[in-house]
Structures are given as structure tokens and as C-alpha cells.
Chains A and B, each alone.
Chain A
């Protein structure tokens, strides 16, 4: 069964600094998608970034970028120039066509200190 592991229950970063959130996953599939979702205190789930497994280039969205290591089954999220509004729970998620469902990790709570 596909599983997603986020080994850091909590992380903190100083405003304007860079932080990296870790995610590993277990799969025997070769074609799949990976996502990072943000859940601020409002509870709304917001898509931050996604990566198609067949693409070697790491996805980037403004201050958010990923380090996708397919062989190591690792998918970390780097947040640059952290802002107070980045404080939230961050969930890593995996999807593949055979199941047609998103599998989420347990989440990492990110605190941004002023």
C-alpha cells in the first residue's frame, strides 16, 4: 500500500529565512503525482505545489520549491524568505492513477517567528 511519511511533526523558522519540510513515500509505481498542501488556521486546504513523477525538473512556485528525488522516494518542500502568513500545517500527498485517491501524510506544523 502506498504510504506518505512526514517525519517532522513541527518545525519553526525565523521570518525571511528558509525552511525545508521533509516527505518520503512508499510506492512501486513509476507514474504518479506528489503534492504539498497548506492548511492555515482557517482550516482551508490550499494547494501549494505539485510534481509529476515523470518530470525530472523540480517544481517551483514563487517562494516554494521542491526537491524531488525519485530513486530515494523523497519529496521535500523548501520555503524561501518565510513570511508570517506561511505559518500553517503542511501536508504532503501522493496520487497515482490506479487508486484515483490522494494519500496524505500526517502533516508538519510550521511556525514562523517574527
Chain B
């Protein structure tokens, strides 16, 4: 158990809908990262927040948005869902934002868009 929690574990929804994925980092970690893992695209970095501020952005679609709240938990919002958004979404956290701070991954949220 990494100490990072993600809810829900599974999510099934329809095209065009909007969902919110939640992540609670390890106690004391200030950075949160979001990743998408799909069969065709592999594991891709989406976005990073550090202490409430956006720190780095990866291959995140405009239909997706994220935020980190004052209590440091983070939410990833996915809207106008398409079949291709079906994937495993990971959240990771680290103490700081630098690369030498090990990232601890949560168990992921499996999103299925029908």
C-alpha cells in the first residue's frame, strides 16, 4: 500500500458524460500527478500540481481538467467523454516537485466509457 488513495476504483459511464476522479496523496506529500494508461497510448503523464498550483502539463486534452485543493487532495474532471477515454487513470504523489522525490502511485481508477 503506497498511501495514495483513489476513488472510485471502477467507473462505467456513457459517451458524452462527465466524471470526476479523486485522489488523496500520502500524508505530507505536496505534489500530485495524474497519468492515463490505455492499451494504445501506453502510460502518459497528464498533469502535475504542487501545493495547489499547476506545475507541469503533459498530454492532457482540453476536455480534461484538474485541480488540487487546500487539503492537497486532487480531482481530475473528464467531460464530453468518448470511447477512447476508457483507460486506467493513476494518481501519484511525492514530497516535492523534483524528480528526485520518488513518486508513489495509487491503485488507479478504471474508467469504462460505453
Please give the residue numbers on chain A whose beta carbons come within 8 Å of chain B beta carbons, in ascending order. Answer: 33, 42-47, 91, 95, 97, 99-107
Tell whether, in the assembled complex, residue A103 and residue B45 are in contact, meaning their CB atoms are under 8 Å apart. Answer: yes
Query: When chains A and B are docked, how far (Å) is the Cα of A43 from the Cα of B56?
Result: 24
B47, closest chain A residue (CB): A101
Bound CA span A33–B100, Å: 9
Q: A44-B105, A45-B105, A106-B42 are in contact. List 14 more A-B contacts (CB 8 A).
A: A33-B99, A33-B100, A42-B107, A44-B2, A44-B106, A45-B90, A46-B105, A47-B102, A47-B103, A99-B56, A100-B99, A102-B45, A103-B45, A107-B43
A43 to B10, CA, bound (A): 13
Would B105 and A100 count as touching, CB distance under 8 A? Answer: no
Nearest residue in B to A45 (C-beta to C-beta)? B105
Question: Which B73-114 residues have a C-beta within 8 angstroms of A?
Answer: 88, 90, 92, 97, 99-100, 102-103, 105-108
- Residues of chain A contacted by B108 (CB below 8 angstroms): 43-44
Complex: chain B residue closest to A91, CB-CB? B43
Question: A95 contacts B99, CB within 8 Å?
Answer: yes
Q: Is the CB of B99 within 8 A of A97?
A: yes
Residue numbers in A under 8 Å from B18 (CB-CB): none
B2: chain A residues within 8 A (beta carbon): 44, 46
Q: Which residue of A lies closest to B42 (CB)?
A: A106
Give Cα distance in the complex from A104 to B92, angstroms: 15
Q: How far is the CA of A105 from the CA of B37 in the complex (A)?
A: 11
In the assembled complex, the Cα of A100 lies from the Cα of B103 at a distance in Å of: 13
Note all chain A residues with C-beta closer than 8 A to B45. 101-104
Known A-B contacts A33-B99, A99-B56, A100-B56; the reply to A45 vs B92 at CB < 8 A is yes
